[in-house]
Amino acid sequence: MLVSTKAIVLTSLKYGEADLIVKCFTEEGVKAYMLKRILKSKSKKVSIAYFQPLTQLKLTAVHNNKGNLNSIREARISYLYQSISVNIFKQSIALFLAEVLSNTLQEEEKNPTLFQYIETAFIWLDNHDHSANFHILFLLNLTKYLGFYPGIEKNKAEYFDLTEGYFTNNKPLNNYVFGKKLILFKSIIGINFDVMQRLQLNSNSRTIVLDILLEYYELHMPGFKKPKSLHVLKEVFNDKA
Cα(78)–Cα(139) distance, integer angstroms: 24
Q: Give the residue among 71, 193, 209, 204 at the shortest CA–CA distance from 141.
A: 193
Q: What are phi and psi of 70, to 5 degrees?
A: -95, 175
- What are the domain boundaries of the chain? 2-79, 88-236
What CA–CA distances, in Å, run from 77 to 46, 132, 179? Answer: 10, 26, 46
**pLDDT in single tens digits along all 241 residues of the chain:** 899 999 999 999 988 888 889 999 999 999 999 988 888 777 667 778 889 999 999 999 999 877 679 999 999 999 999 999 899 999 999 999 999 999 999 877 899 999 999 999 999 999 998 888 999 999 999 999 999 999 877 778 999 999 999 999 999 999 999 999 999 999 999 888 988 888 888 889 999 999 999 999 999 999 998 999 999 998 887 755 4
* DSSP assignment letter at 70: B
| Domain 2-79 belongs in CATH node 2.40.50.140 | yes
**Mapping DSSP to helix (H, G, I), strand (E, B) and coil, where does residue 136 land?**
helix
| Class of the CATH domain delimited by 88-236 | mainly alpha
pTM here? 0.92
The span from the first CA to the last CA of the chain, in angstroms, equals 50
Instruction: Return the sign of the alpha-carbon dihedral for residues 102, 105, 107, 112.
Output: negative
Other Cβ atoms within 10 Å of 205 Cβ, number: 17
Do 2-79 and 88-236 come out as alike in CATH topology?
Answer: no
Cα(59)–Cα(38) distance, integer angstroms: 15
